[in-house]
Structure 1
Amino acid sequence: MSYTIALNFEDGVTRFIGCKEGETVLDAAYRQKVNLPMDCSDGVCGTCKGLCEKGEFDLGDEYLDDALSDEEAADGLVLTCQMVPSSDCVIQVPVASALCKTAVGKVEGTVAMVEPLSEDSIELAIDLDEGAELAFLPGQYIHIDVPGTGEHRSYSFSSRPGDSRATFLIRNVPDGLMSGYLTDRCQPGERLSLTGPMGSFYLREITRPVLMLAGGTGLAPFLSMLEHLSRKREEGQGCEQPIHLIYGVNKDDHLVKTDVLDAFQEQLPSFSYTTVVADEASEHPRKGYVTHHMDAEVLHDGDVDVYLCGPPPMVDAVLKHFDTQGIAPQSFHYEKFTPNQASEEAA
């Protein structure tokens, strides 16, 4: 038996490794040429300390308290030289990936579809090459090279991990580098290179109610998360905690993928969503911004995990709203994006 271990480095790079039954994470990493920090490998120095965010494991009792205290272990900190997984795990590694001599993954694929969804958004689908390995955590993003430019743009997956077809929602930016390529030149069958995955914005283990806040094409990572949850339910691992999405856009015709969201409501009994349109001339029943529609029932008196993805003004507005209203969620993960640069994240 083998378990999949996601190693999330502090520079945003994620590397997936396989860990054999009975094998420590440190040994598995070295076997796959990922040099995690270590000095002693005996549970004495604490150099290999990281944070396990998800998964089951055994640390044994062979390490010293000076290397890992009981309080640290209770908070999820681990020593990778002692950690023996008994399930898939996600581990935060507090160093840059370059220091561990691990490279960002790169895969190739073929454009399967380019479809305008509205004046504001484009859907891109890429069929990955057979045998290409592109593991990622639901919510993460990847760099896509723009052919003929020597540059890339960063986009969150809207597809679920493990699919052979990767999909993305891309904002249609006037005179944008990727937008121009997709609208003017891109044709099905063209080849694209992808580098990643990256990012600390991803779905954690759900242990309490979840509130998702999406702005425009910031809907993409939530589609990936919901795809993941739908598959888990099919496998008999359904989530009973309430999950609510508030999806805000500027204009009525910027609302996309609502049919998919409707399908998720059928597939996931605990999931619900509402839409909000900022345009004052709209006849939409809910006008304004997402901050105007965060009712008490979706905040659960702060006993909620909040995920937020959208353009910087929206992210800043939500942060200010939480501060002025004295709202302190149990956990708050956000990602803000701009058209011409990689995302900015916090967790």
Structure 2
Amino acid sequence: MSYTIALNFEDGVTRFINCREDEKVLDAAFRQKVNLPMDCSDGVCGTCKCRCEQGDYDLGEDFIDDALTDDEVERGLVLTCQMVPSSDCVIAIPVPSTACKTGIAQFQATLAEVKSHQDAALEVVFEADATNAPVFLPGQYVNITVPDSDQTRSYSFSSQPGAQRFSFLIKRVPGGLMSTYLDQAQIGERLTLTGPLGSFYLRDVKRPLLMLAGGTGLAPFLSMLEVVAERGVDQPVHLIYGVTRDLDLVLVDRLEEFARRIPGFTFATCVAEPGSTHPRKGYVTDHLSPSMLYDGNVDVYLCGPPPMVDAVRRHFSQVGITPVSFHYEKFTPTQVVTVDEEACA
């Protein structure tokens, strides 16, 4: 038996390694040529201290308090030289990937389908090679190299991790490099993808979830909801999906399907344009009721353009609510920025 360990470095790079039963994470990483920080490897110095964000493990008793205190253990800190996983795990590594002599994974995939949602978005599906289905954390993104150029664009997966066919929801940008390419792309073309990347991903669901999506920022939530549907959840999950125009509301049928598949999942859509015929007008913040915030006992995930992210942050400040954790990702046509704010950290 072996477990999959996601090593999430502070520069946003994620590397996946396999850890054998009864094998320590540090040893497994070295075996797979990932040089995690270490000095003594005996649980004495604390150099290999990281944070386990998800999964089960045993730390044993062969480390000293100076290396890892009881309080740090309670907060999920671990010594990778002592940590023996008993499930798949996600570990935050407090150094950049380059410091561990590893880099971003790169792979190729075949363009399988391009579906246009009028002038709002493109749903793009790739087919992975038989032995190279992408592994990522639900919510993460990749950089896709635009053919016949040296430029990349960043897009979040909208599909379930590990599937042979995987997808992205891409905003159509008039004159945009990727949009222009996709309008004339031929099915069967090969593209290069780099990743996975980003610290915006679904953690263990331990309390109510509030998901806030702006435009094609819906994409990572579709991936997260696929995982929630598969694993099951005993907490309420609510998503608010806000767009500018009526035409920008895409893949609502997917959300309706999730509402049937996931007990406790609800969603609402809203349109900002004053002339909209949609029953709920305004911005996402106009539809954030106090009951959705559980007096702060909630995990919030937000993905949208910078003005939306800033507006939500201001709203939380104005109502005096600090969520237990607040994970957000700002995106522009060429850039993605992810941030985590954890009150319990």
Same fold (TM over 0.5): yes
8 Å CA contact retained: 1:277, 1:284:
yes
1:212-231 alignment to 2 at 5 Å? 212-231=211-230
Q: For residues 78-134 of structure 1, give each alpha carbon's deviation from its aligned partner in whole angstroms, at most 9, with x where no partner exists.
A: 000000000110000000001101121111111001111131211110101111142
2:62 is the alignment partner of 1:69: no
Distance in 1, Cα, partners of 2:147 & 2:277: 41
Residue of structure 2 in register with 1:307 after alignment: 301
Q: Which residue, 310, 322, 330 being the options, matches 2:316?
A: 322
Partner SS for 1:3: strand
Alignment of 1:258-273 (within 5 A): 258-273=252-267
Distance 2:325 2:222 in 1: 20
Structure 2 match to 1:205: 204
Moved over 6 A (4+): none
8 Å contact kept, 1:121–1:171:
yes
Q: Aligned partners of 2:79 and 2:150: how far apart in 1?
A: 40
Determine the structure 2 residue equivalent to 1:141: 141
- Name the counterpart of 2:99: 99
Match of 1:235 in 2: none
Question: Separation in 2 of the partners of 1:230 and 1:324?
Answer: 34
Structure 1 residue 293 and structure 2 residue 294: aligned?
no
Q: Deviations over 1:266-317 (max 9, x none)?
A: 0001111000000111121110000000112211111110000001111111
Kept in 1: contact 2:171–2:216 (CA 8 A): yes
Measured in 2, the distance between the counterparts of 1:61 and 1:332 equals 33
Residues 21 and 86 in structure 2, CA contact (< 8 A), matched pair in contact too: yes
The 2-side partners of 1:272 and 1:252 are apart by: 20
Quote the RMSD (CA, aligned, Å): 0.8
Distance in 2, matches of 1:74 and 1:54, equals: 13
- Structure 2: 5+ residue runs without aligned partners? 341-345
Distance 1:20 1:132 in 2: 21
| 8 Å contact from structure 2 (residues 133, 163) kept in 1 | no
Q: Distance in 2 between matches of 1:148 and 1:67?
A: 51
Output aligned runs, 1:114-153, within 5 Å. Answer: 114-153=114-153
Q: Is the 8 A contact 1:114 1:187 kept in 2?
A: no
* CA distance in structure 1 between the aligned counterparts of 2:256 and 2:278, rounded to whole angstroms: 17
The letter for the 2-side match of 1:322 is F
State the one-letter code of the partner of 1:209: P
- 2: CA distance between counterparts of 1:133 and 1:97? 22
1:39 aligns with 2:32: no
- Per the alignment, in what secondary structure is the counterpart of residue 229 of structure 2? helix
Separation in structure 2 between the aligned mates of residue 245 and residue 316 of structure 1, nearest angstrom? 18
Q: Helix, strand or coil: the match of 2:181?
A: helix
Task: Give the AA of the match of 1:220.
Answer: A
Match of 1:55 in 2: 55
Residues 140-219 of structure 1 mapped to structure 2, 5 A cutoff? 140-183=140-183, 185-219=184-218
Instruction: Determine if contact 2:156/2:220 at 8 Å carries over to the other structure.
Output: yes
Alignment match, 1:275: 269
Match of 2:343? none
Structure 1: which amino acid aligns with 2:218? L
Question: Which residue does 2:28 correspond to in 1?
Answer: 28
Matched letter for residue 83 of structure 2: M
TM-fit CA distance, 1:240 = 1.2
Answer whether contact 1:111 1:191 (CA < 8 A) is retained.
yes
Q: Is the 8 A contact 2:109 2:192 kept in 1?
A: yes
8 Å Cα contact 1:53-1:90 kept in structure 2 = yes
Matched residue type, 1:289: Y
Report the Cα distance in structure 2 between the residues aligned to 1:305 and 1:55, rounded to whole angstroms.
18
SS in structure 2 of the partner of residue 7 of structure 1: strand
Q: Deviations over 1:248-282 (max 9, x none)?
A: 00011110111110000000011110000001111
Give, in whole Å, the separation in 2 of the partners of 1:309 and 1:122. Answer: 18
Q: Distance in 1 between matches of 2:293 and 2:254?
A: 24
SS of match in other structure, 2:216: helix
Paired residue type of 2:197: M
Q: Which amino acid aligns with 2:205?
A: I
Is residue 120–residue 254 contact of structure 1 (8 Å, CA) maintained in 2? yes
Amino acid at match of 1:265: A
The percentage of aligned residue pairs carrying the same residue is: 62
CA distance in 2, matches of 1:77, 1:23: 18
Aligned mates of 1:283, 1:196 — CA distance in 2: 40
- Give the distance between the partners of 1:14 and 1:34, measured in 2 at CA: 11
